[in-house]
Amino acid sequence: MIKFEHQWGGEDTWYTKSKRWASKQKFPISHLALGAIEWLYKHWVDGKIDLEMTSVDKQTEDIVKQWEAEDVKQPIVEEGPSSVPNLPSLRIRNPVVERGTEEPSTSVAPSSTKIQIPDPWE
């Protein structure tokens, strides 16, 4: 009688090779070997998961550091006219704080009763 071994798709890993080897052994050895292989496989999978989760955590930290480095916005220092002679007036603006919410594209025109005072800083 001729027996053929065939693996249906995928990669022939240490797990499939060792299970195939263990199933060819005689009864007490095959039973013990299959039990040991399943135990090792469970611990191997747990170890692979731990390694991958550590890798994901490291990648997450790297991405957060990159975002923080890109998001740093320096305050803007502006000089303007002052009411005191020979003394410039300084204005410090922080774009992160002053950013606020974006205006909708369809805004209503200001009413004509509203008094608008020009900003000397602009």
In this structure, are residues 88 and 79 in contact, taking their beta carbons and an 8 Å threshold? yes
Mean pLDDT of the 31-43 span: 94
Put simply, whether the predicted model's pTM sits higher than 0.75 gets the answer no
- Could you tell me which residue, 67 or 40, shows the higher pLDDT? 40
Provide the CA 14 distance to its chain's centre, in angstroms.
Answer: 33
89, β-bridge pairs: 80
Residues 43-94 pLDDT 10s: 999 999 999 999 999 999 999 998 888 766 677 777 777 777 777 777 777 7
Q: What's residue 79's pLDDT? A: 79
Phi, psi dihedral angles at 24 (to 5 degrees): -85, -15
Task: Count Cα atoms within 13 angstroms, Cβ side, for 62.
Answer: 6
The closest alpha carbon to 39, from 22, 53, 26, belongs to 22
